[in-house]
Amino acid sequence: MDSRCFAGGKVLLKGALFVPGAIDCGIFKEVVSNALANELSAMHFIKQRYVKRFRMELDLRRWQRPRIGLPLDYRLVGWNPLLVPHHAKVKYESFRGEIDAQVFPCLGKYEGCQKLMSEIGKKEGFVPEATWLAEYIGAGPRKAEYCGTIQAVRSHRGRANIQNIGVPPLHRGRGIGTALILAALMGLDYVGVPRVRLEVTAENAGAIQLYRRLGFRTIRTLYKTVELAPAATPR
């Protein structure tokens, strides 16, 4: 029961029952006032901010397919349902601590990434041909490490969305993200999808520059509400 419950002229406060006429009115008001003040001081007020995002689109009918280039120590691995945990792990390592994990909190937890990847793989419009992992093999087969992920889902017959392009910080700057996007675009082109969309946070300038270089153009600006809870008040 809530600590402030009024019923039949009685007040239940912090598990104690007070009858207003049975005690000094001044004492009663002081007890109530102090209790409410304590509760308010312990509350965590949620603040909100608006995160600017861009929706970008590429017309594959006008797209000139480039060559995929990868460093010799890397390779691309196609879709297999058994790879869901590896996609989830790479997602988590790529997005934790990043702005996207604030916009989409599931990306900041491994369990959330695993659930998300499982749901994507079961969607009716899921496109296996456009879903890839990047793998680092430079340290030998026993120390191979997955280090990039991308998926695509067909939203309707003429369009698909590329989602969750992730590369962990240790492997960035080596063309892994570019290779993943190109592989996904080629897969979508192969299955006959003419238009491809993605969304990106405006703060991610590097990603925006990459998408534009590959032919994507901004078609809409979006604002997503993000809740930011301050740290707990020490007691």
Sorted by where each starts, the structural domains of the chain and their CATH numbers stand as 5-42 (no CATH), 50-228 (3.40.630.30)
Q: Which pLDDT score is estimated for 67?
A: 87
Q: What is the pLDDT of residues 96-110, one digit of tens each?
A: 988 888 889 999 999
The pLDDT value given to residue 234: 41
| pLDDT single digits (tens) 126-174 | 999 999 999 999 988 888 999 999 999 999 889 999 999 999 999 999 9
Tens of pLDDT, residue by residue over 35-49, are 555 554 455 555 788
163's CB contacts (< 8 A; 6+ apart) are: 120, 150, 151, 152, 153, 198
For the segment 60-88, what is each residue's pLDDT rounded down to a tens digit?
Answer: 999 988 889 999 999 999 999 999 999 99
Residue 49: per-residue pLDDT: 82
The percentage of the chain sitting over the pLDDT mark of 90, rounded to a whole number, equals 63
Average pLDDT, the chain: 84
pTM of the model: 0.76
Going through 14-129 in order, the beta strands assigned E by DSSP cover 16-18, 47-59, 74-77
Residue 235 in this model has a pLDDT that exceeds 60: no
Task: Provide the residue type at 91 as one letter.
Answer: K
Q: What percent of the chain has pLDDT over 70?
A: 77
How far is the C-alpha of 92 from the C-alpha of 78, rounded, in Å?
19
The residue assigned the tokens 């509350």 is: 43
